[in-house]
Amino acid sequence: MNKFRIAALRQEFEEAALNIEGTECWSARTLQILLGYTKWQRFENAISKAITSCENAGITVEDHFTGAGKMIETGKGAQREIKDFLLTRYACYLIAQNGDSRKEEIAFAQSYFALQTRKQELLEERIKITERIKAKKELEESRELLRSVVYEKGLKEANFQNILQAGDLQLFKMSEEELKAKLNIPADRETEDFLPKISLNAKAFAASITELNAKEKQLNDEESIKQEHETANASVRETLKFNNIKPEDLPPEEDLTEAQKRIEKGEE
């Protein structure tokens, strides 16, 4: 998510905020639109989950979720009242946390409502970290699927690691040890904790290609799966190269493990 999109979303959320007796809050009907929900029933389900989360945290629900009606035009000047809620920043945060973070609006809202301050640079940094966390998780999931295929062929963890290393060599054109040295990554740390989002995505995509092709082509031994993974990574590298990106030349990012701990503790 680039900074211009972040700025635009921030403006939409700020303009939608209400001040009710000195408390900053948002209309649930307005928040529904901001978060990209097309149906009230689905959004009301997200509100119910958020209320449960609030109760489980031992926090008084009524302090953050206030029932309120909203008048809408029904034609020929007539009006009718529809169900609505007034939601505090905390309530909005809980609702966003129960949403699908793959949706851009919800990914933004999860950071926006978590921050007590709404400085643009803090939003950008937090969203950048959460996107890397998501990318690493997707990489781990794609690798796990590939690992399952390898194990189904009667191969072992050592075989799987050989396959991964061969693929990375094609993607970065250097061994993991060489890449760590170039990026000043400690030898005892996971390389992925310091890679940018695009590199994590590239590795995940290559693993998914290999997993699919290993099944389709009925590859049964380490060498054939390794060759397939090398081909997949070489192909992904060519795509990056076409866009003037060399993954080994991208600067390392902040230690993702430490950044995630900071976010979880609410430290900014």
**Mean pLDDT computed over every residue of the chain:** 88
Per-residue model confidence as pLDDT tens digits over 57-92: 778 888 888 876 444 455 555 455 568 889 988 899
Structure tokens at 126: 């937090």
Residues 170 and 245 in one domain: yes
CB 179 within 8 A of CB 244: no
Q: Which domain holds residue 166?
A: 128-264
Structural domain contains residue 246:
yes
Which parts of the chain register pLDDT below 70? 68-82, 116-122, 124, 265-268
Structural domain contains residue 145:
yes
Residues 165 and 217 in one domain: yes
Structural domain contains residue 257:
yes
CA-closest candidate to residue 200, choices 124, 145, 143: 143
CB 84 within 8 A of CB 68: yes
Torsion of CA 144, 148, 154, 158, to 10 degrees: 0
State residue 117's pLDDT score: 44
Instruction: Give how many domains the chain has, as a whole number.
Output: 2
Which residues sit opposite 75 in a β-bridge?
Answer: 78
Counted residue by residue, the chain has a size of: 268
State residue 199's pLDDT score: 97
Residues 147 and 110 in one domain: no
SS3 category, 44: helix
